[in-house]
Homo-oligomer: A and B are copies of this chain.
């Protein structure tokens, strides 16, 4: 009997689609999101409220939030880079907003042209906005600690700095923080030690999720390390969309299909039906025929012994 519920948070519509050149038509995105929902996914990051000039692939995020809100029980998540994005997210009715804060200030400056202090100002402004809303309309507010395991620009990111930024995000008004292995640098021992360090500072209820990449093949091993310690939310991208595991620099999110297989095989409850997941993958593949999709289980097939209960 399965007792532990694990949330697989699908980030393909945001992280996957923002990393590819093709623009997926809005109707196809809606079909894909609905198919993911039908498979049992109950948290989907549907887009990002950034200027269309920056990420034209995600210019329809508002329409996708509206569509996703029609799916009962779905947590509709979006990324926001700043207060303006958060305002759009609130207007659209997102249930969860995540602001990324790069632990590497060099990366932060290069990526969003903001220092840590400037980003924390944005966080405080967003927290004020959300605090002004009636609780029933207030989205959950997460701070995503990107480059938490190392940076391609700065190299080592001291764990002490990650802990301090986690504390600063909570102090600035985030409900929760998440750890993100943006660069695919993490190893299982590091995942464990960093989780313990951040938990010691902000409490376990303030850090329940992790965003892992498979750039160096350790994605699922890192996921296991996090699960063993009690992490209950794992980001993943269907078909590893947007990240070629064999291309340096690519994002390489862990693949939803392989993650769900691992979790279910271990007897953990994802609520996700594998056949439904393959149906959603087919929707994605049909909409983006030129994009490579990854994942070992979709190609090798499920073991003869695999039974979903």
Residues of A at the B interface (CB closer than 8 Å) are: 150-152, 155-156, 183-185, 187-190, 214-218, 220-221, 223-225, 228, 245-248, 252, 255, 258, 261-262, 265-267, 295-297, 299-301, 303-305
Expressed in whole angstroms, the minimum distance between the Cβ of A240 and any Cβ of chain B is 10
For A183, the closest partner residue in chain B by CB is: B303
Among A150, A223, A296, the one with the most B-chain Cβ atoms within 10 Å of its Cβ is A296
Expressed in whole angstroms, the minimum distance between the Cβ of A182 and any Cβ of chain B is 12
The answer to whether B184 and A300 have CB atoms under 8 Å apart is: yes
The answer to whether B300 and A248 have CB atoms under 8 Å apart is: yes
The answer to whether B305 and A217 have CB atoms under 8 Å apart is: no
Expressed in whole angstroms, the minimum distance between the Cβ of A309 and any Cβ of chain B is 14
The answer to whether B304 and A150 have CB atoms under 8 Å apart is: yes
Question: Which residues of the partner chain B approach A214 to less than 8 Å between Cβ atoms?
Answer: 296
Question: Which residues of the partner chain B approach A267 to less than 8 Å between Cβ atoms?
Answer: 189
The answer to whether A215 and B155 have CB atoms under 8 Å apart is: no
Task: State in angstroms the CA–CA spacing of A156 and B216 once bound together.
Answer: 31
The answer to whether B215 and A265 have CB atoms under 8 Å apart is: no
Given A215-B300, A218-B220, 20 further pairs, Cβ under 8 A:
A150-B305, A152-B304, A185-B303, A187-B262, A188-B266, A189-B267, A214-B296, A215-B296, A216-B296, A216-B303, A217-B220, A217-B262, A217-B295, A221-B221, A221-B223, A228-B228, A245-B300, A246-B300, A247-B300, A248-B299
Contact partner of A221 among B220, B247, B300, B303, CB < 8 A?
B220
For A302, the closest partner residue in chain B by CB is: B216
Expressed in whole angstroms, the minimum distance between the Cβ of A212 and any Cβ of chain B is 11
The 21 sampled A-B contact pairs (Cβ below 8 Å) are: A152-B304, A155-B304, A183-B303, A184-B300, A185-B304, A187-B262, A187-B266, A188-B266, A190-B265, A216-B297, A216-B303, A217-B220, A217-B258, A217-B261, A217-B295, A218-B258, A221-B262, A224-B224, A245-B300, A246-B296, A246-B299
Question: Which residues of the partner chain B approach A155 to less than 8 Å between Cβ atoms?
Answer: 304-305
Contact partner of A218 among B151, B215, B248, B262, CB < 8 A?
B262
Task: State in angstroms the CA–CA spacing of A308 and B188 once bound together.
Answer: 17
Given A156-B305, A248-B301, A304-B152, A187 and B221 touching (CB < 8 A)?
A: no
